[in-house]
Chain A
Amino acid sequence: MSSATLASGAPLPPLVASRGRVGMLLLILSESAFFSVFIVAYLFYLGKSLTGPYPRDLLDFPLLGTLALLTSSGTIVLAVRGLRRGRLARFAALLFATIALGLVFLGLTALEWRHLIFDAGLTLRTNLFGTTFYSLVGFHAAHVSAGVLMMLLIGALATLGHVRPEHAERVEMVSWYWHFVDVVWIAVVSVVYVIGT
């Protein structure tokens, strides 16, 4: 009786999705749950800081960084499309463009933080605004960094000639993560720089 075919002629279940896609979607779900707690904390403590500085004194809408990040979602889509069609040089160029845009975003965040810390004296321990601002924006930036690292790894492998069209789905999974980081940024920008000020 060991492992016999149990019945024959049954219809095949439709092949729903690859395990990579399902796994990445679930990782994104768990990360969303993680971020939502920091967003709730930010909103809950909005306007409850006992001392200054307050958000509207310090925060400017990060237009350049937002544009860089949103554009990078487009470049990575085109990069994956290039890889799938076997146009490897185009893929590598667009991938490095995405990395560069991610680095621009991180650099602008670094400049903003330098201004906040050294000019305005706002740190994690200054008040509730500092506590919630740095942890929410910081965790987002950490996720951007993780995405940049993943893409650098792919970039290094591509430069060495190890990335071929059959790897397109794996690269696409990294792009899904990157889109997720983008969507989180839209939520963060809305909460911190629009509603919060």
Chain B
Amino acid sequence: MASNDWTGVLHSWVATVDHKKLGILYVTSGVIFLVIGGLQASAMRAQLFYADNTLLSPQVFNRLFTVHGTTMVFFVGMPIIIGFANYLVPLMIGARDMAFPRLNAWGYWMFLFGALLFYFSYLGSEGLYAAGSAPDVGWFAYTPLSGKVFSRGNATDYWILGILVSGFGSVSAAINLIATTVTMRCRGMSFGRLPLLVWMMLVMSFLIILVMPPLTAAQVMLLFDRFLGAHFFDTQNGGDAVLWQHFFWFFGHPEVYILVIPGFAFASEIIPVFSRKVIFGYPIMVAATCAIGLVSLGVWAHHMFVVGLSKPLGVWFSAATMVVGVPTGIKIFNWVGTMYGGRIRFRPPMLFCTAFLLQFLVAGLTGIMLAGAPFDWQLSDSYFVVAHFHYVLIGGLVFTIFGAIYYWFPKMSGRMVNETLARWHFWLFLVGFQLTFSTMHVQGLLGMPRRIYTYPADRGWEIWNQITTAGVVFQIAGVLCFVAAIVHALRRGPPAGPDPWNAWTLEWSTSSPPPEYNFAELPEVRSRRPLWDLKHPEDPDWRYE
């Protein structure tokens, strides 16, 4: 940094077009929103601790689950995965920056101002009490509830506009990532040698480009309905409220893969390094990722089985959903195959990825159960569904994100994280996660619907809810350890050196943190593991390609 006074530092971050600084800004913003979204969840869990509790009013509870869901998907998941992609893709392909650095900065600020616009709804007519006048229509804002008739005031408009604005940022980031990967690879970096993370970010970016604009279009229709008196989703004038569900889930289901494919990407880089083996079945992993991306575009209505789909449609969406399970299963098989026979080192990144494997397996299995329409008719909109997607998004995504932060933090900051604190974080978070979300399956099977602000005492749900809420305490303690580990590392962490994990991809060939230009001399690669070739000239990988 050129200047040490705080205005100089601030200026260097606000005006930056450097992909590494923007990546760190994305990830940091996402982690801050993760804490905010976590506090909203904790408030809901406090309310559900007792039957007939009156801590939160029903209105505030509705706002909390709406803001929680929206925050976690759009302002936590998206910026963190895009931030890591931003930071890592140019480094991994041996480039000096993204293809469009200024567009990159524009995308970040669109995301941030979109998120702030959404949160501005808190300052609405009812003031700052609890969730203020935040949106209360759920994170998928079904019509006709989100129409003008049932949602007066402007809360819903903040939901529409905040996501719409940050969506522009996501699409620009996706365009940038693909253009970077296609045009900026260093000498020798053919598509067959791309690190798996880059491949997966490529597929993720294509999904963003294909499904984010349709969400924008649907939101524009909703805005037209609300402000200009259009009739897209207005059943009084022949409009169809279910069309919104189709449009939303055409975005909403691929969105799950947009979020979780980067989780796969982190695991695919971390697991080989800490198993000291090459990834098992590289081409199959690439093919499985492409297959997941493709099939995920045709499964959206499995969110809508209870809306009354025709029988052929129900069969199609059941079958297609089960088909997605096949490439996903192949991936889990390959990660386990990578670990099999390896010299596994259970350092913090590897701990999180190992837990991810088991938890994502459970998420996949409950996903297959819910893919069967008759099973879904019983459990749709119950806590079983809540358990399922939190296993995907926390057990799958958040665990790999923590793993990725522990893995690449030394590269980003140049300092090592205290392993004791990281291990406390892992075990507390693991226990908390399991307590909270495995019990939700039971509540769902016992018939507890999602999104209810309280429940009567005679249903037998109370004890399960109390275990669920108890798990939250462990998760909070775990996240506090995480914050402590990061703050401690930033202040007193020992220097990391360029390659603390003895890894194989190009980002570890430059200093930690890398200079602004990444590589003094652009690298040239001859295999999938350029650093292995450098460290083992007697037995380089390229000999076997």
Closest to B239 in A: A128
Contact call B521/A37, Cβ cutoff below 8 A? no
Closest to B212 in A: A30
Closest to A29 in B: B209
State the CA gap A48–B534 with chains docked (Å). 67
A5 CB contact (under 8 Å) in B178, B184, B523: B523
B462 at interface by CB-CB < 8 Å:
no
Q: Which of A8-16, A87-95, A156-164, A172-180 lies at the binding interface?
A: A8-16
Contact call A10/B525, Cβ cutoff below 8 A? yes
Given contacts A41-B221, A131-B230, contact A22 B243 (CB under 8 A): no
Residues of A contacting B221 in the complex (Cβ-Cβ under 8 angstroms): 41, 135
A63-93 residues with Cβ-Cβ distance < 8 A to B are: none
A27 at interface by CB-CB < 8 Å:
yes
Q: Which of B185-193, B283-291, B411-419 lies at the binding interface?
A: B185-193
Residues of A contacting B179 in the complex (Cβ-Cβ under 8 angstroms): 19, 22-23, 26
B299 to chain A, nearest CB (A): 17
B187 CB contact (under 8 Å) in A10, A26, A27, A31: A10
B527 to chain A, nearest CB (A): 8
A17 at interface by CB-CB < 8 Å:
yes
Contact bitstring B271-299, A, C-beta under 8 A = 1, else 0:
00000000000000000000000000000
B236-269 residues with Cβ-Cβ distance < 8 A to A are: 237-240, 243, 247
Residues of A contacting B542 in the complex (Cβ-Cβ under 8 angstroms): 7, 10
Contact call A16/B232, Cβ cutoff below 8 A? no
Contact call A3/B183, Cβ cutoff below 8 A? no
Given contacts A23-B179, A125-B230, contact A37 B247 (CB under 8 A): yes
Contact call A23/B99, Cβ cutoff below 8 A? yes
Contact call A33/B214, Cβ cutoff below 8 A? yes
State the CA gap A23–B231 with chains docked (Å). 35
Contact call A13/B187, Cβ cutoff below 8 A? yes
Closest to B518 in A: A3
Closest to A13 in B: B190
Contact call A13/B189, Cβ cutoff below 8 A? yes
State the CA gap A16–B542 with chains docked (Å). 23
Contact call A131/B224, Cβ cutoff below 8 A? yes
Residues of A contacting B519 in the complex (Cβ-Cβ under 8 angstroms): 3
Residues of A contacting B510 in the complex (Cβ-Cβ under 8 angstroms): 2-3
Residues of A contacting B187 in the complex (Cβ-Cβ under 8 angstroms): 10, 12-13
Contact bitstring B502-545, A, C-beta under 8 A = 1, else 0:
00001001110000001111011110001101100000101000
Given contacts A17-B183, A37-B218, A131-B224, contact A3 B231 (CB under 8 A): no
Residues of B contacting A132 in the complex (Cβ-Cβ under 8 angstroms): 232
B214 CB contact (under 8 Å) in A17, A29, A34, A135: A34
B112-157 residues with Cβ-Cβ distance < 8 A to A are: none
Given contacts A22-B182, A29-B210, contact A128 B175 (CB under 8 A): no
State the CA gap A1–B500 with chains docked (Å). 13
B392-425 residues with Cβ-Cβ distance < 8 A to A are: none
Given contacts A10-B525, A29-B210, A135-B224, contact A2 B238 (CB under 8 A): no
Contact call B188/A30, Cβ cutoff below 8 A? no
B99 to chain A, nearest CB (A): 4
B447 at interface by CB-CB < 8 Å:
no
State the CA gap A6–B179 with chains docked (Å). 24
Residues of B contacting A10 in the complex (Cβ-Cβ under 8 angstroms): 187-188, 524-526, 542
Contact call B213/A34, Cβ cutoff below 8 A? yes
State the CA gap A150–B180 with chains docked (Å). 25
Contact call A26/B175, Cβ cutoff below 8 A? yes
State the CA gap A128–B217 with chains docked (Å). 17
Residues of B contacting A9 in the complex (Cβ-Cβ under 8 angstroms): 526
State the CA gap A12–B174 with chains docked (Å). 26
Residues of B contacting A35 in the complex (Cβ-Cβ under 8 angstroms): 217
Contact call A36/B183, Cβ cutoff below 8 A? no
Contact call B188/A11, Cβ cutoff below 8 A? yes
Given contacts A23-B175, A41-B232, A131-B230, contact A1 B534 (CB under 8 A): yes
State the CA gap A32–B511 with chains docked (Å). 42
State the CA gap A132–B525 with chains docked (Å). 53
B2 at interface by CB-CB < 8 Å:
no
A19 CB contact (under 8 Å) in B99, B520, B521, B533: B99
Residues of A contacting B381 in the complex (Cβ-Cβ under 8 angstroms): none
State the CA gap A135–B472 with chains docked (Å). 46
Residues in A lying within 8 Å of B, measured CB to CB: 1-13, 16-19, 22-23, 26-27, 29-31, 33-38, 41, 44-45, 48-50, 124-125, 127-128, 131-132, 135
Q: Which 5 A-B pairs have the closest CB atoms?
A: A125-B229, A10-B188, A34-B213, A37-B217, A19-B99
Interchain Cβ contacts under 8 Å between A and B, 20 examples: A4-B534, A7-B525, A10-B524, A13-B189, A17-B182, A19-B182, A22-B99, A23-B175, A23-B176, A26-B178, A29-B210, A30-B213, A33-B214, A36-B214, A37-B217, A41-B221, A44-B240, A131-B224, A131-B231, A135-B220
Residues in B lying within 8 Å of A, measured CB to CB: 99-100, 171, 174-176, 178-180, 182-185, 187-190, 209-214, 216-218, 220-221, 224, 228-232, 237-240, 243, 247, 498-499, 506, 509-511, 518-521, 523-526, 530-531, 533-534, 540, 542
